[in-house]
């Protein structure tokens, strides 16, 4: 079967919890339905924004399964699947690949180990050989302490046809541009930060993996679709209107601000899991003012 390559605006889904910290499955299903109905092009459960590092293996599998079941084939679903042990990462990829209807996985560079470029190449090659599903590479050196250089990205997508995209969160537009110019046909470079989504599309990227689309899915989808169609005036106008929210989502460790706003909107509790703590009163005040300005709350 042909491999699905993500494009457009995808949402890095938050994981709703009840006040006692357990999974809130009804809230999660509602969030997923709202995302799809709002025009989001693909979904990524169990990434950084989904607090994947605090989910048990059973919870991780349950969240991915819930996403796929709720989506019911309407948009692609790429499950977060990261570990700093290559052997464990392979085992997890093989396990998640058995979820019926799952499109593919997103996997970040090994964290803490600080592997070389060759180490990263071997790590992702092992994952790519272990499964037939499409793989999105995830470069986020601010969290993993290691950068995946454009030459390594190129080596990987040249060597493995099921490595179909990279979510680039280095914040380095020159590096992102190099990834784009070196990409084989059909390989997509996706922005990993809301604030540079339009810039990356302007450079030739194929979309954005967004945090803000948890809160404003229609606006973020419209912004990226406008950019992809070449209407940068419209894309920049939306970007300008929602820019304060894009920044406020990271005024404190993510996803606490995002969950605080979703709580204000009545979508879920603001419960997060340690070591993330709930948004402070100052952050809530800032988010409340922005939400009122955008018409998200009364």
Catalytic site positions: 138, 167
Judging by DSSP bridges, how do beta strands 207-210 and 135-139 pair with one another? unpaired
Give the list of residues 6+ apart from residue 30 with CB closer than 8 angstroms, or none.
267
> In whole angstroms, what is the distance from residue 10 CA to residue 63 CA?
17
> Is the peptide bond preceding residue 255 cis, with omega within 30 degrees of 0?
yes
Tokens 């300005």, residue? Answer: 293
């Amino acid at each position: 079967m042909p491999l699905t390559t993500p494009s457009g605006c995808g949402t890095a889904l938050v994981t709703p919890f009840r006040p006692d910290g357990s999974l809130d499955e009804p809230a999660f299903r509602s969030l997923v339905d709202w995302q799809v109905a709002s025009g989001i092009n693909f979904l990524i459960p169990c990434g950084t924004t989904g607090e994947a590092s605090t989910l048990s293996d059973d919870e991780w599998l349950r969240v991915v399964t819930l996403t796929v079941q709720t989506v019911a084939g309407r948009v692609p679903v790429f499950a977060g699947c990261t570990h700093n042990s290559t052997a464990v990462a392979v085992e997890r990829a093989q396990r998640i690949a058995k979820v019926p209807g799952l499109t593919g996985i997103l996997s970040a560079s090994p964290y803490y180990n600080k592997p070389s470029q060759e180490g990263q190449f071997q790590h992702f090659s092992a994952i790519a050989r272990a499964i037939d599903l499409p793989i999105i590479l995830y470069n986020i050196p601010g969290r993993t302490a290691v950068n995946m250089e454009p030459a390594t990205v190129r080596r990987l997508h040249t060597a493995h046809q099921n490595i179909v995209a990279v979510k680039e969160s280095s914040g380095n537009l020159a590096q992102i541009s190099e990834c784009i110019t070196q990409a084989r046909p059909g390989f997509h470079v996706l922005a990993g930060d809301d604030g540079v989504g339009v810039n990356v599309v302007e450079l030739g990227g194929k979309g954005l993996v967004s945090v803000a689309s948890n809160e404003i899915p229609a606006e973020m989808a419209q912004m990226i679709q406008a950019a992809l169609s070449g209407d940068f005036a419209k894309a920049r106008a939306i970007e300008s209107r929602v820019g304060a929210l894009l920044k406020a989502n990271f005024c404190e460790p993510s996803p606490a601000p995002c969950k605080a706003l979703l709580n204000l909107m009545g979508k879920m509790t603001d419960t997060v899991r340690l070591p993330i703590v709930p948004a402070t009163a100052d952050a809530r005040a800032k988010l409340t003012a922005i939400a009122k300005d955008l018409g998200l709350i009364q």
